């Protein structure tokens, strides 16, 4: 084993014969620090072959400069992968300890399996989107139905980007009563007609991940983007290692997502639906990342809503403009007239 006080060592496994048994040996290639003044070699290209594919004669070839292992064999026998590291006194070495009684408790704490872990209680009064909450910004509200309402989002992608939200507190489409589902559909149909009158199509998407209140994003797109939407969604999903499923038109999200399970769901103008089970690494701005990309809206600076916040005056202007133009398609206004 070549030992030197250098920054990097590349290990190549080799087997040699010591006395009456075969023992694994490690070969080190010593490399100098990058950009060293002496211009010593700091990079090395290896061509490695799995030991299972090597010939036995090559495996048994010994080197001429082997040295004995400096570690205590008894300590090496205790090494088992996959457990927490424990320090053994006396020699300053660290090995994995299979007998750590706290390991299972730590695992449960990190995975959420600990039965003693208290679930965080949600306070609807602090919800930004419950219409009865004192924290809701009512100047963003555009239209109010029986069970749902339409509102301007914070940091909209376009001046006509809106949200469909339930008036009461509900977490996701998969956990709402049927009457709310029906009113969501009515808002979607009204918005499709409204955007079509302006020569645009609409993408609806919902992220039930790290959110407490159901929000359906409604983003109008130029018609020329319609043919590219599916491809751009799939490309972005590939970049983020997201398994994106394409569901047939009129598929019910409740058929593929269990109530309470996290997911991402989008509806394209073609009628196709996109579905992905979200994990702890799921990008929170995935939907906005896709729609703001150069092939579509070409406004990447708006991918994060916090980077494109409007002033209170601008938000009021957006709401008034949308409300006026949307009035011919607003079924809630018709309901008000009937009640009068």
Same domain (yes/no): 100, 130: no
Same domain (yes/no): 98, 145: no
Token pair 């008000």 is found at 336
Domains held by the chain: number: 3
pLDDT of residue 228: 96
Kindly report, residue by residue over 22-76, the tens digit of the pLDDT: 555 667 778 888 878 888 888 888 777 776 666 666 666 666 677 777 666 665 5
What own/partner pairs with CB < 8 Å and gap ≥ 24 does 250-253 have?
253/173, 253/174
Q: Which of 37, 55, 70 is the last residue of a domain?
A: 70
Same domain (yes/no): 325, 213: yes
Distance CA 67, CA 217 (A): 66
Token pair 């088992």 is found at 80
Kindly report, residue by residue over 261-315, the tens digit of the pLDDT: 999 999 999 999 999 998 888 999 999 999 999 999 999 999 999 999 999 999 9
Same domain (yes/no): 66, 82: no
Same domain (yes/no): 129, 113: no
Inter-residue contact 266 to 249 (CB < 8 Å): no
pLDDT of residue 139: 95
Largest CA distance in the chain: 101
Same domain (yes/no): 102, 128: no
Distance CA 152, CA 333 (A): 18
Same domain (yes/no): 12, 87: no
Distance CA 212, CA 257 (A): 17
Same domain (yes/no): 64, 81: no
Residue 90: give the domain boundaries. Answer: 73-117
Same domain (yes/no): 203, 310: yes
Q: Which of 117, 151, 172 is the last residue of a domain?
A: 117
Kindly report, residue by residue over 166-213, the tens digit of the pLDDT: 999 998 999 899 999 999 999 999 999 999 999 999 999 999 998 889
Mean pLDDT of the chain: 79
Same domain (yes/no): 40, 166: no
Same domain (yes/no): 107, 4: no
Q: Any idea what the CATH number is for the domain that residue 139 is in?
A: 3.30.428.10
- Cα 175 to chain center, whole Å? 21
pLDDT of residue 193: 97
Query: What are phi and psi for residue 269, nearest 5 degrees?
Result: -60, -25
Kindly report, residue by residue over 124-178, the tens digit of the pLDDT: 567 878 888 888 899 999 999 999 999 999 999 999 999 999 999 998 999 899 9
Same domain (yes/no): 15, 59: yes
């Amino acid at each position: 084993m070549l030992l030197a006080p250098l920054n990097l060592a590349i290990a190549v496994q080799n087997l040699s014969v010591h006395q009456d048994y075969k023992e694994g040996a490690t070969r080190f290639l010593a490399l100098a620090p990058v950009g060293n003044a002496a211009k010593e070699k700091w990079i090395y290209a290896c061509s490695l072959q799995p030991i299972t594919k090597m010939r036995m004669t090559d495996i048994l070839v010994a080197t001429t400069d082997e040295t004995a292992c400096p570690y205590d064999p008894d300590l090496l026998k205790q090494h088992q992968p996959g457990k927490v590291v424990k320090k053994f006194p006396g020699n300053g070495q660290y090995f994995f300890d299979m007998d750590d009684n706290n390991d299972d408790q730590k695992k449960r704490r990190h995975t959420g399996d600990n039965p003693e872990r208290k679930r965080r209680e949600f306070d609807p009064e602090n919800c930004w989107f419950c219409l009865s909450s004192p924290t809701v910004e009512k100047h963003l509200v555009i239209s109010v139905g029986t069970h749902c309402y339409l509102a301007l989002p914070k940091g909209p992608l376009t001046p006509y980007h809106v949200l469909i939200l339930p008036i009461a507190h509900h977490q996701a489409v998969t956990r709402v009563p049927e009457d709310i589902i029906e009113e969501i559909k009515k808002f979607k149909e009204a918005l499709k007609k409204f955007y079509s009158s302006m020569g645009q199509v609409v993408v609806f998407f919902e992220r039930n991940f790290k959110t407490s209140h159901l929000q359906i994003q409604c983003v109008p797109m130029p018609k020329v983007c319609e043919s590219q939407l599916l491809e751009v969604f799939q490309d972005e999903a590939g970049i983020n290692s997201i398994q994106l499923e394409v569901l047939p038109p009129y598929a019910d999200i409740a058929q593929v997502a269990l109530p309470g399970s996290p997911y991402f769901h989008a509806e394209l103008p073609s009628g196709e639906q996109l579905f992905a089970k979200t994990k702890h690494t799921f990008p929170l701005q995935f939907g906005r990342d896709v729609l703001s990309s150069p092939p579509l809206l070409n406004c990447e600076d708006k991918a994060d809503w916090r980077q494109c916040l409007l002033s209170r005056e601008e938000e009021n202007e957006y709401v008034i403009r949308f409300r006026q133009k949307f009035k011919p398609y607003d079924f809630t206004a018709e309901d008000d007239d009937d009640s009068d």
